[in-house]
Chain A
Amino acid sequence: MTHFSPFLIFLLITIVKIAVVLVITLTAVAYTVLLERKVLGRMQNRWGPSRVGPFGLLQPLADGIKLFLKEDLMPLAVERPLFVLAPVIALACALTSIAVVPFGAPAYYKGVNLTQISDINIGLLVVLGVTSIGVYGIALAGWSSNNKYSLFGSLRATAQVISYELALGLSLVGVVMRAGSLRLRDIVDSQAAHGMRSWNIFGGLQILAFFIYLMAAYAETNRSPFDLPEAESELVAGYHTEYSSMKFAMYFMAEYANMITVACVATLMFFGGASSPFGHLFDRVFSFNMHSLSGILLSTLISIFWFVFKVFSFIMLYIWVRATVPRFRYDQLMGFGWKFLLPVAMANILFTALALTFFGHSNT
Chain B
Amino acid sequence: MQLALFIIFGLLAVAGALNLLFQRHPINSALSLVVVMMSLAVLYWSLGAEFLAAAQVIVYAGAVMVLFVFVVMLLNAGEEERTHGSRVAYIAGIPGAVAIFGLLTYVFLRSKGGLGTTQIGGDLSNVSSNIRDISHMLFTSLLLPFEVTSILILIAILGAVVLARKEV
Q: Which residues of A contact B31 (CB under 8 A)?
A: 82, 136, 140
Residues A132 and B70 in contact, CB atoms below 8 Å apart: no
B109-147 at interface with A (beta carbon < 8 Å): 123-129, 131
Q: Is A269 an interface residue (CB 8 A)?
A: no
Residues B73 and A154 in contact, CB atoms below 8 Å apart: yes
Taken together as a complex, chains A and B put the C-alpha atoms of A119 and B124 apart, in Å, by 9
Residues A121 and B62 in contact, CB atoms below 8 Å apart: no
Q: Is A135 an interface residue (CB 8 A)?
A: yes
Number of A-B contacts (CB under 8 A): 84
Q: Is B47 an interface residue (CB 8 A)?
A: no
Residues B57 and A132 in contact, CB atoms below 8 Å apart: yes
Question: In whole Å, how far is A251's beta carbon from the nearest beta carbon of chain B?
Answer: 18
Residues A121 and B129 in contact, CB atoms below 8 Å apart: yes
Residues A132 and B62 in contact, CB atoms below 8 Å apart: yes
Q: Is A235 an interface residue (CB 8 A)?
A: no
A142-166 at interface with B (beta carbon < 8 Å): 142-143, 151, 154-155, 158-159, 162, 165
- The residue that A132 contacts in the complex, of B27, B58, B72, B129, with Cβ under 8 A, is B58
Taken together as a complex, chains A and B put the C-alpha atoms of A298 and B51 apart, in Å, by 37
Q: Is B36 an interface residue (CB 8 A)?
A: no
- The chain A residue sitting closest to B41, CB to CB, is A129
Residues A143 and B131 in contact, CB atoms below 8 Å apart: no
Q: Is A183 an interface residue (CB 8 A)?
A: yes
Interface string of B63-75 (1 = CB under 8 A from A): 1001101101110
Given the contacts A132-B62, A162-B63, A121 and B127 also touching, CB distance less than 8 Å: yes
Q: Is A92 an interface residue (CB 8 A)?
A: no
Residues B70 and A155 in contact, CB atoms below 8 Å apart: yes
Given the contacts A136-B34, A154-B73, A122 and B66 also touching, CB distance less than 8 Å: no
- The chain A residue sitting closest to B69, CB to CB, is A139
Residues B27 and A125 in contact, CB atoms below 8 Å apart: no
Residues A129 and B129 in contact, CB atoms below 8 Å apart: no
Q: Which residues of B contact A162 (CB under 8 A)?
A: 63, 66-67, 70
Taken together as a complex, chains A and B put the C-alpha atoms of A129 and B55 apart, in Å, by 8
Could you show 18 A-B contacts with beta carbons less than 8 Å apart?
A119-B125, A121-B125, A121-B127, A122-B54, A125-B51, A132-B57, A132-B58, A133-B62, A139-B70, A139-B73, A140-B27, A140-B69, A143-B69, A155-B73, A158-B73, A162-B67, A165-B62, A169-B58
Known contacts A121-B123, A136-B69, then 4 further A-B pairs from the complex at CB < 8 Å, ordered by chain A residue: A122-B129, A158-B70, A162-B66, A182-B129
Residues on B lying within 8 angstroms of A by beta carbon are 27, 31, 34, 50-51, 53-55, 57-58, 61-63, 66-67, 69-70, 72-74, 123-129, 131
